[in-house]
Amino acid sequence: MAAAPRTARLASPSRADDSGERGRYFAALTRDRPDIALCRATTAVARSIDEQLSGAPLTVAQHLVLKMLDAVGSCSQQELSEQLRIDRSVMVGCVDALEAAGLVSRERHPRDRRAYAVTPTPDGAAALADAERAIAPVLDHAFAALTPGERATLVRLTRKLLDVPPAD
């Protein structure tokens, strides 16, 4: 049986001569598909924040958990997962790490005996205060390409897309 003729392998775009075509394509794509532009922007900002926080004692998810607990009080892991849009399996690891570090405690939820309420400890409150002091420069770095006015516009438009009421 004769072997099937081989077709030429397509070159990976990262290995091909660019000559500006990819840049022009991406510019057009972001104009035509704002969903793709938002996803790419989110990834770029998340990477920037991850790089800035690589040596920090808390991950972004852990910081957000402590911040929500501080703002609204004890919550179940499911509530945290849903409100913060963090996958449940990731949330379990996040809360496990916070509990192991003594930053939260888990107790039976007072209204749902099947669930656990996650509560910040005094050490968790201190860790949150440290993280809050450190976040402004991280965000300034992540959004450095935007002027303060553009940042405000981005916040306003993002809140509108997410159907979040205007700030007081």
Q: In the chain, where are the structural domains located?
A: 32-161
pLDDT at site 64: 92
pLDDT at site 122: 96
pLDDT at site 99: 96
pLDDT at site 3: 57
CA distance 94 to 115: 16
How large is the C-alpha radius of gyration of the chain? Answer: 22
Q: What is the 8-class DSSP label of residue 163?
A: T
pLDDT at site 24: 86
CA distance 75 to 109: 8
CA distance 117 to 126: 20
pLDDT at site 104: 97
SS3 label, residue 120: strand
Q: What is the 8-class DSSP label of residue 110?
A: S
pLDDT at site 18: 57
pLDDT at site 91: 93
Please name which of 146, 66, 73 lies closest in space to residue 102, comparing C-alpha atoms. 66
| Tens digit of each residue's pLDDT, the chain (168 residues) | 555 556 554 555 555 555 678 878 888 888 889 888 898 888 888 888 888 888 888 888 999 999 999 999 999 999 999 999 999 999 999 999 999 999 999 988 777 778 889 999 999 999 999 989 888 888 898 899 999 999 999 999 999 988 888 776
Report the top-level CATH class of 32-161.
Answer: mainly alpha
CA distance 139 to 98: 23
- As beta bridge partners, residue 104 has 120
Strand order through the sheet with 116-120? 75-76, 116-120, 104-108
Measured torsion, CA atoms of residues 12, 16, 22, 23, in degrees rounded to the nearest 10: 130
The model's pTM: 0.73
pLDDT at site 56: 82
